[in-house]
Amino acid sequence: MSILLKSLTLLSLFFTYCLTQPSLFGNSRVTKTPLIAIYNGGDDTEYRGGWELVSENAGVSAMHMTIMPNTNKAVMFDAAGFGPSGISLPPGDCRPVFDERDGNEDHYELDCWAHAVEFDIDTADIRPLKILTDTWSSCGGLSANGTLVQTGGWGDGGRSVRYLSGCKACDWEEHPMSLSASRWFSTQHILPNGDFIVIGGRRMFSYEYVPKVESSNQMYFLLPFLQETTDPVENNLYPFVFLSTDGNIFIFANNRSILLNPITNKIIRELPVLDGGSRNYPSSGMAALLPIKLNVNDPNSNVIRAEILICGGADPGAGKLVEKGIFVTALQDCGRIDIANPKATWQKEMMPTPRTMGDMLILPTGDILMINGAKKGTSGWNFAEDPNSTPLLYKPDNPETQRFMELKATTIPRMYGSTSMVLPDGNILVAGSNTNYYYNFTGVKYPTELRVEKFYPPYFDPLLVFARPIIVSDYKGIMVKYQSNFVIEFKLKKYKVNQLDLKVTMYAPPFTTHGFSMGQRLLVLGIKGLENVGLGLFQVEVVAPPTAKIAPPGFYLVFVVHNGIPSSGIWLQIA
């Protein structure tokens, strides 16, 4: 008999009402405090995930991270100006760096340390990559052909556009004067036509579109909304940006949000304010576009929901107080809204614990993982205390009192500069954390972190190993067209599969930095049919997304999920 999912019981559900207290800090007072509801599942033996240390030294502290479809390897990198890293460049391949300490403008020194690596997710082998311009607090995304397009940074990197194709021996290709403005702490997102938009940056109240290779932008578009949302600590950096299901761009900065038409460059409407505090860097809350559910019988994009979830952050005054040694408790609330509904308002929920600088990832199942971060302070060097080492699972389709579940904690603090990434097998790669200026491994409370872990979500329960589907199909080199039907063949140790127990999800891997996963997107595909084609062998026919507004062109990971247990994913390109 096949092993079934454990039935979830409400044995450990408890409620805690938070009393509203007058706040000393800005607008953090909430007159109607949402209920904190922690669903602890069944008994204490229920599997809450596991951790594995996979590398003692990744070479760099992973401030930025993504996974490359062409190689199935992760790319991790830091700033280019933070001094010696944990791995050197090949002999004779050093880069010249202007020495600002010397008054002579012609004086350069050689930097022979790598500040980027290609990380093998199976073996933990690393290959150093050579960055020429400074990538400190930059942004990026995967293009339609799987190339990493990476923009902005600090100093000489502020106007740079960099490309990494992902071939076995390839290195960065850089164009240092491609952007029209310096983009530091900005956000990048792919558009339905395959182009990229880059929004904001420090004291940069504008946006622009990434030009073609070897071209340069001559202009940008002013966005007064960004100037309106700044404050004394600039709590509108790294704005949360998502492509809505109607093709408009959702932009959230500080506590306000708008929908922007990228074709007309006009603001469509402003959404209600999300009260409670500041959500963007350096307050550093988390955000995700919840799974987009597609219906075989009604693929009309005009009726497809686009729900945004934003959790955590900090009081708007926290950044100033931490300079005085006062670490204010991070925000604990979440806001959820359907941006496709003009009449929608924010619906509040409460996390079990406060969190700033966390990551929010969409799992293959459609559940949300919140991981990394701290309970006090804000982003910045030594600006946070009390690491939040306990990941959270959020089940968006559950009743409100059964959505949050605390998972197994890590022993490694992952705060400022930490990152995480969903891997093709459903594991989570976790790396980075550096609260220090330069790399510092001794004599500090939170040393620079070069270790890499994998987190195993609850669907890796050892008792359920035989209930995991295995995809047989291979779509390598095959391009799937919009609105077309395609078949996924998979194995499962069962004689019969009920279509109601099955779903097929399609995941766009993000570019993750500073607690925001840019371009992250998961679609639940419509199922047309399910057929048993052999002993334990099945074929499920699904419908590709209807338009590029729903799923921008590019590479996606496709998963078969049966009773909440996902297969390993396969790469599929849609265009």
Name the one residue in this structure whose structure tokens are 């390897």.
73
Report the C-alpha gap between 82 and 381 in whole angstroms: 13
The dihedral through the CA atoms of 188, 189, 195, 199 has a sign that is: negative
DSSP characters over 376-424: EE-SSTT-EEEE----EEE-TTS-GGGSEEE-PPPSS---TTEEEEE-T
Where is pLDDT greater, at 373 or 82?
373
Confidence label for 373 from pLDDT (cuts 50, 70 and 90): very high
Confidence label for 297 from pLDDT (cuts 50, 70 and 90): confident
Q: Give the Å distances, CA to CA, from 245 to 242, 340, 542.
A: 9, 7, 19
Q: Residues 127-150: what's their mean pLDDT? A: 97
Beta bridge partner(s), residue 107: none
**Exposed/middle/buried for 54, CB within 10 Å: 0-12, 13-18, 19+?**
buried
Q: Residues 444-473: what's their mean pLDDT? A: 97
pLDDT in tens, 18-62: 323 333 333 332 334 465 655 555 456 789 999 999 999 999 999
Q: Residues 90-99: what's their mean pLDDT? A: 84
Question: Taking 90 as the threshold, does the pLDDT of residue 3 lie above it?
Answer: no
The answer, yes or no, to whether the previous bond of 282 is cis (omega within 30 of 0) is yes
Taking CA 211 as the corner, what is the angle to CA 206 and CA 213, rounded to the nearest 5 degrees? 150
Q: What pLDDT sits at residue 43?
A: 53
pLDDT in tens, 212-246: 998 999 999 999 999 999 999 999 999 999 999 99
Q: 459's torsion region: left (phi>0), alpha (psi -120 to 50) or beta?
A: alpha
Question: Taking 60 as the threshold, does the pLDDT of residue 2 lie above it?
Answer: no
Report the C-alpha gap between 344 and 151 in whole angstroms: 34
Question: Taking 60 as the threshold, does the pLDDT of residue 299 lie above it?
Answer: no
* Full-model pTM: 0.92
Question: Taking 70 as the threshold, does the pLDDT of residue 15 lie above it?
Answer: no
Confidence label for 16 from pLDDT (cuts 50, 70 and 90): very low
Cβ within 8 Å of residue 152, ≥6 positions away: 137, 138, 139, 158, 159, 160, 179, 182, 183, 184, 186, 198, 201
Q: Residues 79-97: what's their mean pLDDT? A: 91
Q: What's the whole-number average pLDDT of the chain?
A: 91
SS (H, E, C) 316-329: CCHHHHHHHCCCCE
Cβ within 8 Å of residue 284, ≥6 positions away: 312, 313, 314, 356, 357, 358, 373, 378, 379, 514, 515
pLDDT in tens, 506-535: 999 999 999 999 999 999 999 999 999 999
Q: Quote the distance between the C-alpha of residue 550 and its chain's center.
A: 18
Question: Taking 90 as the threshold, does the pLDDT of residue 106 lie above it?
Answer: no
Q: Tokens in use for 203?
A: 């004291």
Q: Residues 198-210: what's their mean pLDDT? A: 97
Name the one residue in this structure whose structure tokens are 């599997």.
47
Question: Taking 90 as the threshold, does the pLDDT of residue 263 lie above it?
Answer: yes
Q: What is the largest CA-CA distance in the chain?
A: 77
Q: Residue 364: name the closest of 508, 496, 546 by CA.
A: 508
Confidence label for 5 from pLDDT (cuts 50, 70 and 90): very low
Neighbours of 44 (CB within 10 A): 9
Q: 316's torsion region: left (phi>0), alpha (psi -120 to 50) or beta?
A: alpha
Report the C-alpha gap between 233 and 556 in whole angstroms: 37
Q: What pLDDT sits at residue 28?
A: 32
Question: Taking 80 as the threshold, does the pLDDT of residue 505 lie above it?
Answer: yes
Q: Residues 149-168: what's their mean pLDDT? A: 95
Q: Quote the distance between the C-alpha of residue 521 and its chain's center.
A: 9
Q: What pLDDT sits at residue 313?
A: 98
User: For the chain, what are the domain ranges?
Assistant: 467-574
The dihedral through the CA atoms of 124, 127, 128, 131 has a sign that is: negative
Q: What is the DSSP letter of 88?
A: B
Question: Taking 80 as the threshold, does the pLDDT of residue 294 lie above it?
Answer: yes
Backbone phi, then psi, for 196, in 5-degree steps? -120, 145
Q: What pLDDT sits at residue 485?
A: 96
**Tally: H helices and E strands in the chain:** 2, 47
Q: What pLDDT sits at residue 573?
A: 98
Instruction: Give the right CATH number for 467-574 from 1.20.58.1030, 2.60.40.10, 3.30.465.10, 1.10.150.20.
Output: 2.60.40.10
Q: Residue 208: name the closest of 139, 133, 155, 272 by CA.
A: 139
Question: Taking 90 as the threshold, does the pLDDT of residue 103 lie above it?
Answer: no
Neighbours of 530 (CB within 10 A): 16
Report the C-alpha gap between 505 and 488 in whole angstroms: 11
Confidence label for 295 from pLDDT (cuts 50, 70 and 90): confident
Backbone phi, then psi, for 376, in 5-degree steps? -140, 145
Collapsed DSSP state (helix, strand, coil) of residue 21:
coil
Q: Tokens in use for 47?
A: 């599997």
